[in-house]
Amino acid sequence: MSTFDPRVLLGKAETYRLEFKAADILKKPVKVAREVVAFLNADGGDLWVGVGEEEGRAVRLETISDIEGELSRLRDHLLDTIEPVVRIPGDVRLTSEGGLLHVAVVKGQHPPYAQRDGGRHFWIRADARLRDMSREEIARAFNAPIGNADRLTGIVRDLLRAQAEEGAARPSLWIRLVLTEPLSIDFTDTGTKVQFESWLRDPSATGNRRSGWNFVNDYARPKFLYDHVEQGDPDSPSKIRITNRGEITYSVSRDALYWKGDDSDPRDIWPYSLLEVPASIFRLAGKVFDSDASGSTDLQVVVGFALSGIRGWRLRPGSPREPHLPWKKAQSFDSDLLEADPGQLVFPATEIIRNPDRCCLRLIRIVYGKFGFEDEDIPREFDKQEGVLRLG
């Protein structure tokens, strides 16, 4: 039990590293995320929720009902809307202190941080308020030349173009991971060849299931060329390509996502394949990056995703293992191409190494959202709290 006496805050003024918010801000967690991003991009700080202020000074304490529930909801919101992904605890610590909700933020390790709220907003703390980061500040944080429109912008633009081209080529699920700085993988090295062949032919080598929906192909040997390794020819339903720069591209025929249940429609999407195929690529990426880029703390990864040829295809909410539950009506997609915004899928490479499933969960939330679903509609096999996909 906390022994903190919240009355010590009364009379204190807001500062560069101290902010007070009334309890009703929890009805709009987007406003809390804004403050957290501003602290991450500055030098950290403390946000106290449940403290009314006047003219920047704490004047009253307010009751927060169901504070544990509010802590859990706020945690999920911060993980879902701040990029790069924050560590909780680590970058941000959420606690209940004397009946108040305390958000303690340290200076972020991978700036600049952005809030996804109808776009990407880069906030920073300035005195006792927050403001938008300038273009120069964002460029410096990305360690990119100001006049170069930064490397990330170019990668996002290229991925959007590639998504559209893939969508026009054939009905498929397509995913590509691009690093902000290239690796130097030597595909002429015997040890490197052995390692990559293991990853591409043995699912357990990357933490995947032998009988699962993933990129692994035990029947075809990968082809090693000077600047890349590939598996699958142009007519194969499944193809993967990894370049010596660390770029990973995978595509699989849309029909591999077909739900083969007794009551299925020919255009039903099997939820488990929709979860596990991209998760398997994130897991592979974690192994590749850990092997060749584990020492780089500044390296970031941008992800492109496209699901094409799905006009009229349906996705059912919930878990197929719970057919007795009152499922909502399946949602049909009204366009040929479902795309994710690569600008919303930027991760520190270290985060993909540490927890590839949690990074993939951000993509899955976007996909389900485009079908009109909420977080609760994602199958329970994807544990939202731990950020882990568990399929038996």
CB-based contact 180:301 (threshold 8 Å) = yes
Report all structural domains of the chain as residue ranges with CATH numbers, in order of start.
Answer: 6-141 (3.30.950.30), 150-389 (no CATH)
The H or E element spanning position 251 is strand 248-253
pLDDT digits (tens, 9 = 90+) for 115-154: 887 777 889 988 778 888 887 777 667 654 443 346 777 8
pLDDT at 249: 97
The Cα–Cα gap between 134 and 251 comes to 38
Q: Pick the closest to residue 357 from 250, 277, 293, 253 (CA basis).
A: 277
pLDDT at 271: 92
Q: Determine how β-strand 100-105 pairs with β-strand 92-97.
A: antiparallel
Look up residue 81 and give its amino acid: T
CB-based contact 21:48 (threshold 8 Å) = yes
pLDDT digits (tens, 9 = 90+) for 65-112: 889 999 989 998 998 888 888 888 878 999 998 899 999 999 887 788
The Cα–Cα gap between 120 and 118 comes to 7
Q: Is the pTM of this model over 0.85?
A: no
Q: Is residue 248 predicted with pLDDT exceeding 90?
A: yes
**Percent with pLDDT over 90 in the chain:** 46
